[in-house]
Amino acid sequence: MCLSIPSRVVNVSEDRTMCRVDTMGVQRDANLMMMAEESIEVGDYVLLHIGFVMNKIDEAEALASIETYREILELMDEEERRQAILDDDHCENR
């Protein structure tokens, strides 16, 4: 099962096809091609699926979700925490 952790946009490419997001301290590049209809700006919160930004979400909703993830992650050791965040990049598309 894949869970998408809300990620904050920290940079948008000049051609607006890619962005860099921060997911609870882990940064990665994400493709914006699925978001042609909606403008994504630095500071927005988004959900990713297999490296693509799928939608923009409300900041309050994103922060509430992140808090829940933090509570879950507190129960894990350091390596399990980092791996749980990184595994989002390798979610199977079913």
Model confidence pLDDT, tens digit, residues 23-66 = 988 899 999 999 988 899 999 999 998 899 999 999 999 999 99
Cβ-based neighbours of 60, under 8 Å, separated by 6 or more? none
The model carries a pTM of 0.78
Higher pLDDT, 75 or 45: 45
pLDDT of residue 89: 57
Q: Is residue 76 part of a domain?
A: yes
Distance, in Å, from the CA atom of 62 to the CA atom of 64, rounded to the nearest integer, reads: 5
Q: Is residue 22 part of a domain?
A: yes
Check whether 90 has a pLDDT greater than 70: no
Distance, in Å, from the CA atom of 30 to the CA atom of 18, rounded to the nearest integer, reads: 6
Instruction: Indicate which CATH number applies to the domain containing 72.
Output: 2.30.30.140
pLDDT of residue 2: 63
With H, G, I as helix, E, B as strand and everything else as coil, classify residue 10. strand
Which phi and psi angles does 61 have, rounded to 5°?
-65, -45
Q: Is residue 1 part of a domain?
A: no
